[in-house]
Amino acid sequence: MILKPEVVRVLEREQRVCEMAIGRLEERVRPFERQYGWSTGQFLKKFNNGEAGDDKSFFLWYALAEATQDWQQTCESLKELLDSAELDSAELVSA
């Protein structure tokens, strides 16, 4: 796919936004991991299997984990798009 340089810049900026969002979400799940002694992956298995319990904090942890996964998927899609993109050579000459 041929992309104009300004489109590439916007996609790169969005990728940075994704990375920042992931970092912030990961910071928010760390206290849960320390408190309960589980990684988020372990927690999700327990939660999805009904083994974690009904503590209110588990629902927040679950929401944060799901949001992290959504941002990670978005970030990966942007990376794939940018890796496969070609710059419009006519735009490069005039830039």
| Tens-place pLDDT, residues 70-84 | 999 999 999 999 988
Enumerate long-range contacts of 66-74, CB under 8 Å, 24 or more apart: 67/25, 68/22, 68/25, 68/26, 68/29, 68/40, 71/18, 71/21, 71/22, 71/25, 72/18, 72/22, 74/18
The answer on pLDDT for 87 being more than 80 is no
CA neighbours within 13 Å on the CB side: how many for 93? 3
Enumerate long-range contacts of 60-65, CB under 8 Å, 24 or more apart: 60/32, 61/29, 61/32, 64/25, 64/28, 64/29, 64/32, 65/29, 65/40
The answer on pLDDT for 92 being more than 60 is no
For residues 61 and 2, the model is more confident at 61
| Tens-place pLDDT, residues 49-68 | 999 988 999 999 999 999 99
State the alpha helices, DSSP H only, in 1-95.
5-36, 40-48, 56-84, 89-94
pTM of the model: 0.81
For the chain, give the percent of residues with pLDDT over 90: 75
The answer on pLDDT for 21 being more than 80 is yes
